[in-house]
Amino acid sequence: MRDRDQFRANSTRATVLHWPPTVDTQVGSMDNVDTQVLKKADEWQRDGRRVVLGTIVRTWGSAPRPVGSLVAIRDDGLVVGSVSGGCIEDDLVDRVRARALAADTPQRVKYGVTAEDAFKFGLPCGGTLELVLEPVGPQSRVGELLDRIGDGRQTIRRLAMSNGEVTLEDGTGRDVLRVTDVELVSVHGPRLRLLVIGAGQLTHYLAQMALACDYSITICDPREEYADGWHVPGTTLVRTMPDDTVLEMKPDANTAIVALTHDPKLDDLALIEALKSNAFYVGAIGSQKNQAARKKRLVEFGVTAAQLDHLHGPVGIKNGARTPPEIAVSILAELTAQKYGYRIPTPIAVTAQRVESGCAVG
């Protein structure tokens, strides 16, 4: 087995190690859909409007929106967010305007319990969903929750079903939404972590897209010529060596790690530790030939055959991507499939085409 420190020392390309780590944190302005719902609910409440906030807590069958999705309804019927294709929202609006739902305390409601209801409310294939609806007020602490989300803190929000009082606490990264007759426990803020090795052009596109998918993103690059040019708001840049960064992050089942430097001295250092971790996704850029050579090197550093089986390389789904933004799309698509437990079969090229000046050329 080769020594990892010797591998670092033999690097032929100059790298700069900053210790303690130099961290550049940039606060972003991109919001996911549910954060936008919370912001609007807080704004309406501060303006003195009556607001009801709805959270999907359970689904059965082919429900159109996942558990945790939010909707906010103002007293005049204005809606932000979604829990269905629109039919349920219409019914919620009517009942909220009539003060027939969650007028004073939280309330649980179900839609689509019968086939007739499923058809009436536009739920596909007999789907059913359950919502917790709550009146929004100072006791809801929505503004404080938004501040915590803006600081990048995963937050557990506990809603007392008896009186609507809310408590907030830091999340552990392993928390899930749950509901009882006593309380609704929901999870807010970044739930998935993405560590990208390399701050090059491709990483800029991947980071921007992953932000929209609610990843908490760390970029690791000890090379000054790349790190100094990093400018994606909402991400955290560290200039430490990749293996140290992986170990410091303690990757769990909510962590994805992608190596994109094209420099084996950096990518391999990250992969050596990443493949030994509990990260749900580990990928590296490079051709099939480069991947085969990489696997041989990783074995020399103690990575087992079983651990190598978790390496996605070449990174991303095979979709004909050529440009950096296209490759970023393919990587995020594979991350999404892995997150939800889907296996993407090897695609078959139907036609061979290239596009020039907007015209397809055979």
Q: What does the pLDDT average to over 32-40?
A: 89
Domain match, 74 and 87 both: yes
25, pLDDT greater than 50: no
Q: Which parts of the chain are beta strand (E)? A: 23-25, 51-60, 70-74, 79-81, 107-111, 128-135, 155-160, 166-170, 178-179, 183-188, 192-197, 215-220, 236-238, 255-259, 281-284, 311-312, 354-356, 359-361
Q: Is there a domain that residue 63 lies in?
A: yes
Query: How far apart (Å, rounded) are the C-alpha atoms in residues 285 and 322?
Result: 13
Q: What is the pLDDT of residue 360?
A: 35
Average pLDDT, the chain: 85
Q: What is the pLDDT of residue 28?
A: 31
Q: What does the pLDDT average to over 248-266?
A: 92
Q: Is there a domain that residue 303 lies in?
A: yes
Domain match, 183 and 37 both: yes
Is 76 or 216 the better-scoring residue by pLDDT? 76
Q: Point out the least confidently predicted range of 60-64, 204-208, 230-234, 297-301.
A: 60-64
Model confidence pTM above 0.95:
no
Q: Is there a domain that residue 354 lies in?
A: no
Is 24 or 304 the better-scoring residue by pLDDT? 304
Q: Is there a domain that residue 345 lies in?
A: no
Q: What is the pLDDT of residue 9?
A: 55
Domain match, 8 and 37 both: no
Q: State which of 135, 157, 188 marks the end of a domain.
A: 188
Domain match, 87 and 15 both: no
Domain match, 226 and 302 both: yes
79, pLDDT greater than 50: yes
What domain range is 44 assigned to? 33-188
Q: Is there a domain that residue 245 lies in?
A: yes
Q: What is the pLDDT of residue 182?
A: 97
Q: What is the pLDDT of residue 146?
A: 96
Domain match, 310 and 202 both: yes
Q: Is there a domain that residue 183 lies in?
A: yes
Instruction: Please write the tens of the pLDDT for every residue from 88-141.
Output: 888 999 999 999 999 999 999 998 756 666 566 666 555 688 999 999 999 999
Q: How many domains, the chain? A: 2
Q: How confident is the model at residue 358 (pLDDT cuts 50, 70, 90)?
A: very low
